[in-house]
Structure formats: structure tokens, C-alpha cells
Structure 1
């Protein structure tokens, strides 16, 4: 094969895409000087947006053509298409480095993203950012024998027209448009100008420049590559429908909504301005607009999806795509600035100046990581698998943050859940009228809540790119060690979604992008129930902050707010903590009232029913607990009692003591919390301590008061939350069960259910055997902070177990990371192999704190 033909087969198309005016963002009330840009679209492999509503939105994608045809790579998925990706550095604010390996297309890409704050010509504060993408051809034996295919990098600028879900409020607005597209010839810079923001008074003009490649432009091409289309009816969707449909034509999964819906199976209006660099064998190089025939601009109409209209110019279009053809060894830079570029800014963000910025940012991240997590620097060598795993875990936790805007969908009524107790306690779980934006469905049993702005970390960009209440408390324990202010922004955002009753929806599925990523086979879980709870893990990071503020007020340097930004004084103000204490107190009162048993003597997770059972199991799910298929009572009832929730309530009341004290609440209200915690603690033995006591542990109780004897995570909760006295015989029983390989000890850590249990690996094999890092972190924290720290009969055993367990977890996770370059949702208790969700750098990132031996906020 000749060199010209070989060059033809070795090419990459880079397609720059920006969603302008898509309505999904958060913190609309953020002061203008707090507006900033970030990689806050976790569903995308690389997606940029700001923290204002109707932000411009940017995304990266690529696809292959030639001997190897491929679908578009744009959404974060499970790696089944041979693509691995992940951040190797991410500081949560202004710098990120991501490495992508596409084995099928034989290309490795390094993406460096840098955010810069600058001043405009009028001395106004503004932001700019630059993304550099460097491609490297990965040569294989097969590649040496033949031309194995071509790759395309598609980076696109686009906006969805039509109604967004915010129009539930009746606020119909015209979509923002691109003001200008400058396309001036082969290998020139391509500039796109637009506006970002919610209202006319708050619009921020911007300019985006897709610069000519530094290198990698093929000399000639013998064909004109055909770009992917944005949106059309399902029967003509091209190869990249699965990836792009969720992003550009967001799918509304509701069968009940009367509001506007957009679906691939329905006609959709999208205005599109396409441009690409056409290079022909004749060596003519022209940058043109394109229709389907490659020459112009295309519009899809709602009433005629196949009609093609041509825009007179780009001023009437809200979608643009710039497409380049590149060899697999290439480098391109994309530069963005609010308002406009000046020559000095442009020079400072590109070329050799960018080399220096990137090098400084990488050094700063590495130095800061070792300074913040001193325990890792002291115990693990720089560059070791363990250290690389820890930086990867932190970076991808920070890289999983997202901004969202939208409505939670909730049940207005649920007759299957008890609404009162025999003791006369009336749960408050009704939604107030002002909280409901729209009643859904003809029967009126569903509602869309008032749209909200939301900023959160996510469990996994691959499988769970949305907010989870149960997970978020663990996430922010890690973030707090790195950037207190960033953690505080997210924690405050979660306080903002507490309803007037005190209920918090356990999953935050807000906006089209989050809904499009929701698994279809469990779409019913998208509908939230105002009676269903989740563990109050959110109190853990708040307790850390409260203790640090207390230490700062006391002048204690250790564990004070020395890792915060200058806002630390406001963070520790009485006004801040009054707001926090009131919000968390409201939620705790809701838990205390709504999760009672019928006789009001104990607690139970509401929402269990006969209809929802795992395929391979007899016990109904207990999704509210977070331990979904862990065995409970086979027959759900209003009388069953759940040990883990009772333990959480003991712990939560104790945690609120520190928080309310900092808020300046009266001594009597603080004492009331202490008394309630002590009362619940004393009730634990009388309520759950009956039965044969052959295991020496506490267990759930069924409707008849009989113990449900399953040795596992639930029976360990009194120890893992530090509720058991350090000299209690039940501590010894728990240690014995954890150290026994036939019960809970495994090659990966403490397994979720005893190997000797009849239900072991039954159900969904989710919480019935596998090893989960957050629970093991709680166990390590309890051992480290209490049971191995205080003199008593079990101190030495607790210390030995702590050392063995910590070493086992780190060793096993490092082995998996060395082999697979990622973290997992849980780990197989027999082989130690990672399983379920990949890139699970939410609560599995707690490995960073385990390695650093940081256990703040766990024992109260």
C-alpha cells in the first residue's frame, strides 16, 4: 500500500461541539464574581459548562472511519467499546489532565484543561479556559501488517432548541443563538461567538477558538468524510445514536408528564450550522458549511423531520459543529474566553506559554497532594502503584462533580406505607403546594417538584452520573481533606433540596441529561417517594466542618480549617451554622418521625414491599437502607425493626450536638439531643438484644419480635458507628466474626454477609457477600478511633485487626488498579477482583483516606 493511501487510512476527525443555551445548571443565585467554568458534565468523557443557568456547554467526542468503523465515543460508558479513560490529575477547580486509550482505533489521547481568571479591556473579571488534546498513534503488530483504520476526534459546538423542562413554570424563552461563525480556509483558526446565561440582563458573551492543529493535518485525502447527524427520527439514526441521543435530544422517560417531551422516536427541531475542513486528493482545501450533501446548513422541523432548510447565515442557528481531519499523531488547542480575546491573553494560553502553564499545574497538583495527604507520602513511594491509585481516586472523584438543573419526580401518595403509629405520631410526608410545579398523569398521583439548581459529586461517571444522598456523605469526607470550600458548595447545595417536611429525595435525577443516563430497566426508581429515607451520612462531613470550626475558634491548629480558602471566616460564622443546624435538624426530625415502627418503639426503613424482590432471593429489597438486597424479614410489616437505622439514629443525634452547639442553640436544646441519643443507645440492648445470643451480636427483628440472624454488615453497625462501649462483650463477638474466614474475613476486606449464611451470594449478589469500601472504611475508623485507642479487653485484637484489614484492602485494590487502571463499585470476596460498576471513584475513593489514615467525623 502506497504512502498516500496509508496517510488516507490514518486520520482523525476532530469535531468541536458546544451546547449553547441548554437549560441545566445550578446556583443561579451565585454572585457574578463566583461564576466559573468547570468539567461539570459527568455523563461526558470531557464536558465543560459554567455554574449559571442556560450555560454554554461543551463536549468532546471522536469516531473512526476506514477499515475500522466505529460509533461516536463521547459518553462515559463501561469500556465495552475498548475505550479506557480517567483523570490522572484533577484539582477540582482550575486544572485537569485526562488520559484516554482507544484500543480499537489504536490511539491514545492526552487532554489538559486549564482555567484562567483574567480581566477584560474594561477591567471586568472574566474567565478563560484552554483545552489541549494530543493524540498518539498506538502501533500494533496488526497495524504494521496493514492499514487498520482511521480515527475521528469530534469536538462540537451545539445547542438544543425548543422547550426545556424549566417551561413547567410557564417561562417560555427563545433559545440563545450563535452570533457568528468565522470559517476562513484550510488549517485556519475557527472562531465561534455566542452568549451564555439565563436572562438577557445576565448574558455573558463569549468567544471560542478552535485553533489550527499544531501538527497532524494530513497532506491529502481521497474522500470527503461524512459527519454524524445531530438528531432525527429513530429509524434513520446513524451509528452514533446511542451516544449522542442522550446529549442532544435528551430523552424524557416519564409516561405521565403532560409537559413538553423530546424523544428520538418523535420529530425534533434542531437548528444546526455545520462546518468542516474538506481536503481532497486534488489538494484543494476548503472549509465549508454542509447539508446532508456536504454544502450547507440543515434544520430539522417538528412537523417534517426530513425537511431541509438552509439558514442564510449562522446568526439564526443555535447549533454549530467544527470538524477537522487529522492524523492519529496530532495536537490541537481549543481556547475559550468570556467577552472577547485580546492578543495578550490568546498568546498566554497557547503554544509554548501553555506548555509552561501545564507543567506548573502538574507540579502544583503533585506537591499539594503529598502535602495534604502526608500519611500517603510517608508510607508509599512516589510513583508506586498505591500512590498512582490514590491520585487517580481523588482526581476522578473531583472530575465526577456535576451541575444540574431540573425537577425531581415524586409520588404524591403511597397507600402501601403506613402514615401513622399506634402511639399517635403522625409522620409529615405531604408535599406543600408551593413545592409542586406540575401534577403529572391523569390520576394526579405523581408530581414534578419545583426545578432546582444542584451541584454534587457523583458515584461514577459511567453508571451513576447523578447525585445520591447515601453516597454523598462519604464523597465529601474525601473532598473536605482536599478543598473545604468546594465541599461546602456541594453540601450547601444538598441542604437546598431538603423539602419543607425535612425529606430529601435519595436520588437527584435533575434535568434531561441525568434522566437520559438513568437505566431503563429500573426507570421506576426515578420516581421518588416522600416517605422513603436514606442513611444520614450527610452529617459526617458536616460534623468534620463543625469540629474544625470549633478548633479554629479555640485556637487549636490541629484539624482546624487550615485547608480552606479565605472564606473560612464566613464558613465558621454563627449565621452559617444557624442555617446548617436548622436544615439538618429538620431532616433529623423527619427521620425520627417518619421512620418509626407502628408501636413507635424503634425504627424501620419505609418502602419495603412484596412486589420488589431480587430474582434470586426471597427477601424484598430495602433500597432505603442503601444495602438493597441484604436479607431482612421475609414478610415486610409495620412492626419489623431495623438495627442499622436504629444505630444511625443514635449516631445522628450525637452528631447534631456539635453542630447545634456551634450554631449557638440554647443549652436546653443541645441537652435534649444528648438525652435522646442516650435514650436510643440504652434502648438498643433491650430492643435488639433478645434471642439465643449464640453469635453475641445484635440483629434485626421481624414482626413477631424474633431476631433475624444474619451475621454481616447490619449486625456490625453498632460497632462501626462507635455506639458499643469499648469494653462491651459484643465488641469481642464482632471482632471474632470479622476475623473468621468462614464468616466475614476475605481476601478483599470484610464481606457484606457471612460465608456461612444460607443467603450468602443469593439475591442480586450485591450486598450478600461482596466487599464494599465505604463499610470497611467505617469499620477501620471505629477500630482506629475507639476500640484500638482506648484501654480495654479488646484493644490489642482491635489494633491487630485494624492493621490486617487496612493492609488487605490497600493491597487488593492496588492489584486491581495495576491490572485494570480503575476502581470498582465493590470487590469479589472470593477472588478479590473488582466488579459491578467501573470508574467507581465515588465512595471507593475512600481508599485515599484509608491510605492516609484519616478518619475524621466518624465517631461522636
Structure 2
């Protein structure tokens, strides 16, 4: 309309020329008449050339206006694209109840990166936790103070022996020569999440040893909201009292439960953040002489609240140092003192301590053991008491590894020049490893959910809803969640930024498939079907994101993004987004690559979407069509079955003739006598790559049509897969299926001169679980390979379970991966993320 009005006010068009001429003539006559009356000379009519100039000028103005509009629209659209990466999916959050709305889960061991720590599911939670040290083992720089779970601490063992994910936990820590047991029990009540009691017990495993151990129990504020102050308990051990918006008024008391306390002191000060608690404590250590023993001891100075300018601050960090001679124990009781009526306060006795706490803890432990057997029936299956205790510990470490994080990710899209912050949000999630990966990982969490949902489907649905609240408007979820200062402190800078082009295997569909198969009736009975109904639109967006952003050049093909930016030092460009990191793909990444595992993930996801749509009474036709299309074995074979090896593989620009060689380095004469580091090894291509199947590599990726049960029970390639699985020269070992065939060119090869092999031969429990699940499936289906599948299933399950238990008994840990030649654990420890799926293997729950 604006352009039309502008045209009417400007030069007339040709169709209105006669009207314009008449109008002009009339105006000239009136003008002439007026001039005559005023005895002035009439202006001369404008020449025709003036009208032409006016017309041209108007056209230029119109063109300029259109250009300005186009430019403004372009920059507006670019700005819109820039904002999409950090715009939430919508304002209707999946987590409908949070914080104090779920009082029974308000407090918990939600700090998995610490050896023992508690916090609330509140963005501004107060945190409490434990440090310890032996004065004989303390070193400069704080080495010897235990706080965060660190592989470098070289503890003999640590982990939860019992943990139900909600109300209690018991953990054993072996730090030679000491054994430290930590435990807690929660007691609901009131408006602020109730009370709890924690206990720390120390024993010395060396007889007649007089070595003491110092415990540091601390309280810190995650954000500077509310206040805490020191107080003394009846035992003269320093406690605190305080008030925060999320906790109301409360008090925390430390009690000597038994044994001998040699010394007690405290520190009340200000800390900038939770990253530096250990450093703050260490910087305030003082040496003093104990009056009773006349020995030199380490103490804390008390209140340190005055700044360099003389200003007095309110403390946000209080640490109580308690040195004892083992065996000794302390109880820490937390009591909410607001949110109750006067009569309730008068009748409250507070959380139990000492003998009463011991009784409550034993009741909780007994109930856990009973529920565990009801869920997994390992005693019924004939497992020994020690094997059952191992399985209980594996599950407990998974549940005790659930954390609550709050913060903002750093993300980037192709439309943003620099990384931008995601919105601040909470995440309730299990973690793969308390020592090395104490944060949320998208593809790990789908495997975690298989075990967690088998124990408590309510906890798992809570985790899923938190994850899907992190979905942006595009349907993308960042694959690694680094939320909060404690989580950020554990991550190298190069891995912090998450890019919205990059995916991760959509393993939550594995969890949803298990929930639909095992708990569909329970979902309806407990009113949880509404959660899935609200989740469904986000699952649709998530599936669409995979099906569009990760599609390949040809119909029905898919390609993992993220391989484009690789260095010359890599033997084979990594595919971190696939979850299989350095597993060999095509040697020279191009947009024409076809990744067979991703195709199978999308096919599997489409099938689960169809199942869920049917359960919810929605139209499932679109997802069924996609599932049947991508699962069509003939089309799958056309795109991914090598005619030369008759095995499934990727397709791309590839050559096996690559090697790492040290680049030549010219040494200046002036520097000939100096120590010069050798040049790095770089990749050298000995034979030009060509478009082909990557069929010289056989391993986990080759199995995906089998692992995700895409193959029909009578499919001819299934026979060869079963044969290759069982062949010791290919994937079979006495400890599980290795990730890469011994005959593959990159078997156990370093990807750079500094990076050891990762997915190039080692045994991984998550893929072995999928293999058992598939063998169990094909063994139960009528077909020509059913008996072979059953036989291999029995052997593989035996090997996996036996080795993981043996390695746990030998080393004290469940590991990230296992050596295919010796069965020994390798990678990081403890890794009770997907490696804890051994519990489901023992229970035969798929």
C-alpha cells in the first residue's frame, strides 16, 4: 500500500495520461487568470524534458527505497538467524514441578564431582561437602587434600555401595591406610525440603598406627544470597546457622559420634566461587602446637572477614576442621527451623544422630536390598552374594552419580561470528564418570536411562524432561552440558563451545523404547502418560532436526557433521559427534559421505516415534513410513553393503594408504646448540583417495544394522555378521566384542602421535549391551539364524559379566573400557555410566 500511495503522489503512469494532461491544463488556466488579475506575468508551461527528469528521479527514489527495504529485511533476517541458536523451543517447560514443588527430591548427593557433597535442586543452592587430609601426606600446593574426585589421587577404591536415588546413600572410600565411610539419610517434612543426617566414619587399616586424619566439613553459598554464621554445638564442634530464600531458617550441627577428636578449629570467610574452596582452605592453614600432646598440628584461624580496605564482609564459606585419631566418626545434622507451625516445632526432635541414626540407616539399606532383588532377581538367577553386592554397587554408583546443575552453555551457529551464551537453565542428569566426566552428555544419558528406568521410571522421566527443556527453537540439544563453575573447571577450553550443526546419537529413543515396552501400563496407572504427551512435540522437533540437518547427499543417506574441521596431525579425522570419536571413517571427509550408523539411528528413532504416537492416539503414519523406508533391507544394502566384502560400511572419499610421519624441520645455524623440540608428526597420504566403501574397516559401525535390529531375521548379511562376531580374529574376545577388527588397517593405531587409540580395539560396554540385546532379539525370532544367535548370546553374556566383575574385584573399579587382549580395565575410573549396564546384562533385561 505504501508503494501505491507513493505512485499516486508522484508522476502519473501512462494509463492516466489524459487525466493528468487535463488536470495540468486546468491548473495552468487558473494560474493564468490569477496572474492577469494581479497584473503579473504568467509562468511559462514546463517543457516536456522536465517531466522526464521528474519521472526518472521518482523511479530512482522508488528503487532506492526498495533496496533499503531489501537490505533492512536481509539484516533483520540475519539477526533472526543469529538468535535461533539460543532461543528456547517455547515457554511451556517440560519440568512442571521443580525445587520445593518436589520436596522429597529437594536435597540430594547432587555434586557427583566431589567425593561427598550435598546440595538442593535450587539454582542458588547452598552446598555442603567433605575434604580430608593426613598431615603426613600433605604437600605444597594442596596436594594431599582430597575434595574433587580426581584420578590423580590414586585412591584404592571409592563409590556408593547403596544408593536409592532419593532418600539415602552409603559410600566406601579406600585411601590407604584409611577407610572412610560416608552416608546420609533424608527426613521429609515442612515447607523447605525437610532434614537430613550425614555421617563420616574413619578407620585405620594399619594395626597400632597412631596416624591421625583431618576432616574438613564445609558449607558454602553457590550465590551470595542469604547468610550463614558459625555456632557451637553441645560437643563444642563448630556448626552453622543461617537463612536463605530456598531453605528458610536452618541450623547445621556437628556431633562427635565416637572415637577421639584431637583438635577442632574453623574458618569463616568469603570465597569468590565454588571452584576454589580447596585453595581457600589451604591458604588459611596455620601451624600450632597442641596443648595436650605437645605436637605440631594444622589449624584454621577462625573469622577472616575483613578485606584489605578494612570492610567487614558476611561469610559465604564456613569450614570446620576436625582432626581425629581413628577409629572415630562424626555426625552432621541439618534441621530446617522454619516453615512449621508453633506446635510442630515444639514436637520436633530433630534428625537422628548416633545410635538412632545407625538404626535408620540399616532400615534403609535393608529396604534397598529387598527392592533390588524384586527388580533384578539376581539371587533367583543363582548369582553369589559377592556378585550381587557388585551389581548393587554398580547401580548405586549410577544413582549416586546423578547431579543437579545450573548455568548457561556456550553455543555457536554458522550465523554467529563468536560463541554466544545459551539461556540459564537447570539440568538433572546422571554423569558418566565422577572423576573425569562429572557433567551431562547427551548420548551417554540415553544409555544411563536404560538402567535408571529399570530401577525408578519416575527418576528417569524427570531426567528426560530436564534434558528436553534444553532444546532450542531449531530442535537441537547441545550434546555436552557444562553448567556452573564446578562443571566448567573440569573441561578444556577447546571443548566448551557447542555447535548447533553437530549431533549426537539420539539414544533417548533407546530409553523411551524400554519404557514403552516395560512400563506402558504403569505410565497410565500412575498418570505419567501426560508427561509423554507433553514431550511428544519436542520429540517431533528433535527427530525432524536429525532428519533434516544430518541428511546426506542422496535420499535415505545421512552424514555426521563435525568432521570438516580436522588437523593435519590426525591419521583419520575424528567423528566426535557420532560418539565413537576416533573410530575410522573415510580418510578424506566430504559432503558426499554416507554413515551407516546414523542411518540406523534415524530408522530406529522413527520406529519409536511411531510406537509413541500410537500409544498417545496420534497419527503415526508419517513415522511408520520413514521407519519402513529406512529399514528396507534392499535399500540399506544398496547404500551401505559393500559388494566386495559383503559387509556394511560407510561410503566416502577414502584410502587406506595413510601414515603419520614427522615433518622435516630446518634448524637455524644460530640455534644449532639449543634444545629444539622435534617437529610434530603429520598425516601423509601415500595413495590418492577415491570414492568407495570404507570396507577395509570392520567393527562396531559395521554392526549397526544388527545392533539396532534393522535387519530382518532372515536377512542374508545377518549370517555373516554372526560369523564375524564370533571370530576371534575379528571381533570376538574372551572379555567381550572389541570395537575394531584385528584385520582393520587402524586397529590399535594412534590417531596422532599423542592420542592413544580409543575406539580402535577396546571393549565398550554400551555397544556390547546393544549386541546382547540384538542377539537376544534374533535368538527369539523364527529364522535360519536363530540358534546361532542364542548360542553366541550365552557365550558373550558370560564373558562380559565375568570380566567386569573380576576387574572390579581386582582393581576396585568399574572402568570406561576394557582391553581386548587381557580384559584389564582402561580409560578413566570409576566409570559407572554406561559400563553399569552390566547389571541389566546380569538381569537379562533388554
**TM value normalised by structure 1:** 0.76
Instruction: Sort the Cα spacing of 1:653 and 1:296 in 2 relative to 1 into closer, same or farther, 3 A.
Output: closer
Quick check: which one's helix share is greater?
2
Superposed displacement of residue 156, structure 1: 1.1
**Equivalent position to 2:481, from 489, 497, 508:** 508
Determine whether 1:246 maps to 2:275. Answer: yes
SS in 1 for 2:539: helix
| Structure 1 segment 773-812 matched on structure 2, within 5 A | 773-785=765-777, 787-812=778-803
SS in 1 for 2:158: strand
Give 2:721's aligned residue: 734
Q: Which moved more, 1:703-712 or 1:809-818?
A: 703-712
Partner of 2:125: 55
Instruction: Say whether residues 1:210 and 2:254 are aligned partners.
Output: yes
Partner of 1:181: 230
User: What is the CA distance between 1:698 and its match in structure 2?
Assistant: 1.3
Corresponding residue for 2:535?
580
Q: Does 1:410 align with 2:424?
A: no
Q: Which deviates the most, 741-750 or 344-353?
A: 344-353
The answer as to whether partners of 2:233 and 2:239 remain within 8 angstroms in 1 is no
Looking at structure 2, the residues matched to 484 and 247 of structure 1 have their Cα atoms a distance apart, in angstroms, of 36
Structure 1 residues 308, 274: closer, same or farther in 2, change over 3 A? farther
Question: Partner residue of 1:116?
Answer: 187
The residue that corresponds to 1:190 in the other structure is: 238
Specify the structure having the higher radius of gyration (Cα): 2
- Please point out which of 788, 792, 805 is paired with 1:814: 805
Deviations 1:480-526 (A, max 9, x none): 111111111101111111111011111011111110011x3xx3121
Q: Which residue of 2 aligns with 1:391?
A: 392
Q: Secondary structure at the match of 1:331?
A: strand
How many residues are aligned here? 699
Q: Distance in 1 between matches of 2:286 and 2:108?
A: 27
Counterpart pick for 2:161 among 67, 84, 88: 88
Provide the rounded CA distance (Å) in 1 between the counterparts of 2:117 and 2:95: 18
What is the match of residue 658 of structure 1? 611
Residue 32 of structure 1 deviates from its aligned partner by 3.0
- Give 1:225 deviation, angstroms: 8.3
Residue 248 of structure 1 and its aligned partner are, at CA, apart by 3.5
The higher-RCO structure (CA 8 Å, 6+ apart) is 1
Return the offset for 1:84: 2.7
Change (3 A) 1:373 1:38: same
Structure 1 pair 118/284, CA: closer, same or farther in 2 (3 Å)? Answer: farther
Aligned pairs for 1:475-514 (under 5 A) are: 475-514=448-487
Give the drift of 1:842: 0.4
Alpha-carbon offset, residue 150 of structure 1:
3.5
Q: Is the 8 A contact 2:127 2:222 kept in 1?
A: no
1:615-626 equivalent positions in 2, closer than 5 A: 618-626=571-579
Aligned to 1:352: 355
Q: Which residue of 2 aligns with 1:280?
A: 290
1:129 pairs with 2:196: yes
2:553 alignment counterpart: 598
Contact kept, 8 Å, 2:335 with 2:351, in 1: the verdict is no
Residue 705 and residue 653 in structure 1: after superposition, are their counterparts in 2 closer, same or farther (change >3 A)? farther
Give, in whole Å, the separation in 2 of the partners of 1:345 and 1:608: 61
Q: Deviations over 1:509-548 (max 9, x none)?
A: 1111110011x3xx31211010000111011112233344
Residues in 1 aligned to 2:474 and 2:600: alpha-carbon distance in whole angstroms: 23
> Residue 673 of structure 1 aligns with which residue?
623
Q: Residue 847 of structure 1 aligns with which residue?
A: 838
Contact map agreement 1:400 1:458 (CA 8 A) in 2: yes
Segment of structure 1 superposing worse, 729-738 or 151-160: 151-160
Whether 1:64 aligns to 2:134 is yes
Aligned to 1:240: none
| 2:304 alignment partner in structure 1 | 297
> Could you tell me how far apart the structure 2 residues matched to 1:209 and 1:75 are?
23
**1:125 Cα deviation from its structure 2 partner:** 6.7
Would you say 1:697 and 2:644 are equivalent positions? no
Query: How far apart, CA to CA, are the structure 2 residues paired with 1:308 and 1:65?
Result: 34
Instruction: Give the Cα–Cα distance (whole angstroms) in 2 for the partners of residues 396 and 134 of structure 1.
Output: 19
Offset of residue 687 of structure 1: 3.6
State the SS of the aligned residue for 2:151.
coil
Structure 1 CA distance for aligned equivalents of residues 551 and 510 of structure 2: 22
**Deviation at residue 571 of structure 1 after TM alignment:** 0.6
CA distance in 1, matches of 2:801, 2:478: 33
Q: RMSD over aligned Cα, in angstroms?
A: 3.2
Distance in 1 (CA, whole Å) between partners of 2:335 and 2:758 is 46
Gaps of 5+ in 1: 1-25, 162-173, 233-243, 250-263, 265-269, 302-306, 414-429, 431-438, 553-559, 562-566, 856-860
Distance change in 2, residues 1:370/1:476 (3 Å):
same
Q: What secondary structure is seen at the aligned counterpart in 2 of 1:838?
A: coil
In the alignment, what sits opposite 1:107? 178
Q: Residue in 1 aligned with 2:32?
A: none
The match for 1:378 is 380
Report the CA distance between 1:211 and its aligned residue.
1.7
Q: 1:724 to 1:160 in 2, by over 3 A?
A: closer
The Cα of 1:51 is off from its aligned counterpart by 0.7
Partners of 2:651 and 2:475 lie apart in 1 by 27
Give the deviation of 1:247 after TM superposition: 4.8
Partners of 2:400 and 2:839 lie apart in 1 by 15
The answer as to whether partners of 1:113 and 1:130 remain within 8 angstroms in 2 is yes
CA distances 1:174-196 after superposition (whole Å, capped 9, x unpaired): 53221x322378x4253311234
User: Residues 137-156 of structure 1, C-alpha deviation per residue, up to 9 Å, x if partnerless?
Assistant: 1116xx76xx6x44211111
Instruction: Determine the C-alpha separation between the residues in 2 that align with 1:759 and 1:206.
Output: 60
Q: Secondary structure at the match of 2:333?
A: strand
Q: Is 2:112 aligned against 1:39? A: no
Match of 1:824 in 2: 815
- Indicate the residue corresponding to 1:13 in structure 2: none
TM-score of the aligned structures, taking structure 2 as reference length: 0.77
Question: Relative to structure 2, which stretch is displaced further, 493-502 or 59-68?
Answer: 59-68
In structure 2, what is the Cα distance between the partners aligned to 1:273 and 1:183? Answer: 24
Please give the per-residue CA displacement for 1:121-166, whole angstroms capped at 9, x wherever unaligned. xxx57411100111111116xx76xx6x4421111122366xxxxx
Q: Offset at 1:55?
A: 1.1
2:699 corresponds to which residue?
712
Query: Paired residue for 1:746?
Result: 733
Q: SS state of the match for residue 599, structure 2?
A: helix
How far the C-alpha of 1:283 sits from its partner, in A, is 8.4
Q: Is the 8 A contact 1:407 1:510 kept in 2?
A: yes
Deviation at 1:454?
Answer: 0.8
- What residue is the counterpart of 1:237 in the other structure? none
Note closer, same or farther for the CA distance 1:83–1:216 as it changes in structure 2 (3 Å cut). farther
Residue aligned with 1:396, SS: helix
CA distance in 2: counterparts of 1:708 and 1:545, whole angstroms: 36
Deviates more, 1:352-361 or 1:392-401: 352-361
The residue number in structure 2 matching 1:450 is: 423
Question: C-alpha deviations, 1:681-728, integer Å up to 9, x for none?
Answer: 22643543454343x221100146521011110110000110001111
Partner of 2:581: 628
Task: State the secondary structure of the residue aligned to 2:559.
Answer: coil
Provide the residue aligned with 1:688 in structure 2.
639
